[in-house]
């Protein structure tokens, strides 16, 4: 019997994103690249919504968010000023 590949449910993707953020916060240089806890809290949902295709690559997510700053929530947008 051949099993068909299954898609990752959204909840598993969210768990993966959260795990990546926690791992990034564990190392000082990576934590700086990922932003402060306040910045991450302000932008987590926007990162998933606008730049989710780049998760877990923090540099690509940041570049994407800078490029799409007009699409970010006001709270997150303030983090890029």
The full set of domain ranges for the chain reads 16-79
CA distances from 75 to 9, 18, 69, 78, 79 (A): 28, 20, 11, 6, 7
pLDDT score, position 33: 57
Opening angle at CA 10, ends 7 and 16, nearest 5 = 95
CA distance 81 to 79: 6
pLDDT score, position 81: 78
Residue ranges of the chain whose pLDDT lies below 70: 1-34
Q: Is the pTM of this model over 0.75?
A: no
Q: Which residues contact 45 (CB under 8 A, 6 or more apart)?
A: 73, 76
């Amino acid at each position: 019997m051949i099993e068909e590949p299954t898609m990752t449910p959204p909840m598993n993707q969210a768990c993966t994103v959260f795990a990546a953020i926690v791992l990034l916060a564990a190392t000082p240089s990576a934590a700086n690249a990922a932003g402060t806890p306040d910045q991450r809290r302000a932008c987590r949902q926007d990162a998933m919504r606008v730049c989710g295709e780049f998760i877990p690559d923090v540099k690509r997510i940041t570049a994407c968010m800078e490029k799409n700053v007009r699409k970010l929530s006001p709270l997150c947008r303030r983090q890029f000023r």
